[in-house]
């Protein structure tokens, strides 16, 4: 993914949003809800659901879409991903805002649960 460097600050807007929002709508959410400056160079992540899911009770119709808003110094970049299978791991709306590292953002983008990554080979301790 072309985007922010390894030292980028990453903020997640917990809960879901209307994914029809574009750059201007997401930048307004960053200012109002996250209380951050959209052009600060941080990455802002938003999760949504398909437009045709009117309620959260619809099975398998929740959390498969993500948008990242990022200011690269010249303008805004908007990344959008829809998972074919599965859901993006996300904190509840009650959590407000979550802060991630660049490594956790990379895991999130790939659909890996960044809160509990599983090791393919756990570290071995010498005796």
Pairwise pLDDT comparison (103 vs 124), residue with the higher score: 103
E-assigned strands of the chain?
10-17, 43-48, 65-71, 76-82, 97-100
What is the helix (H) or strand (E) element at residue 25, kind and residue range?
Answer: helix 23-32
Q: What is the value of pTM for the model shown?
A: 0.78
Token duo for residue 68? 């990242």
Write the pLDDT tens digit of every residue in 72-106: 989 999 999 988 888 888 877 777 788 888 888 88
Q: Is the pLDDT of residue 15 over 90?
A: no
Q: Look at residue 116 and tell me whether its pLDDT is greater than 80.
A: no
DSSP per position, 42-59 = -EEEEEE--TT--STTST
The pLDDT assigned to 27 comes to 96
pLDDT at 58 over 90: no
User: What is the token pair recorded at 67?
Assistant: 């948008």
Give pLDDT tens digits for 27-56.
999 999 889 999 999 999 999 865 555 555
Q: In what order do the strands lie in the sheet with 97-100?
A: 76-82, 65-71, 43-48, 10-17, 97-100
Contact 87, 81 (CB under 8 A): no
């Amino acid at each position: 993914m072309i985007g922010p460097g390894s030292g980028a600050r990453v903020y997640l807007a917990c809960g879901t949003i209307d994914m029809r929002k574009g750059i201007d709508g997401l930048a307004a959410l960053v200012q109002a809800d996250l209380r951050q400056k959209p052009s600060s160079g941080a990455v802002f992540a938003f999760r949504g659901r398909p437009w045709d899911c009117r309620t959260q009770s619809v099975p398998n119709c929740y959390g498969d879409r993500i948008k990242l808003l990022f200011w690269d110094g010249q303008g805004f970049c908007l990344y959008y991903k829809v998972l074919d299978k599965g859901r993006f791991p996300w904190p509840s709306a009650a959590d407000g805002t979550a802060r991630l590292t660049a490594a956790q953002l990379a895991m999130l983008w790939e659909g890996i649960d960044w809160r509990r990554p599983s090791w393919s080979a756990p570290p071995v301790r010498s005796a």
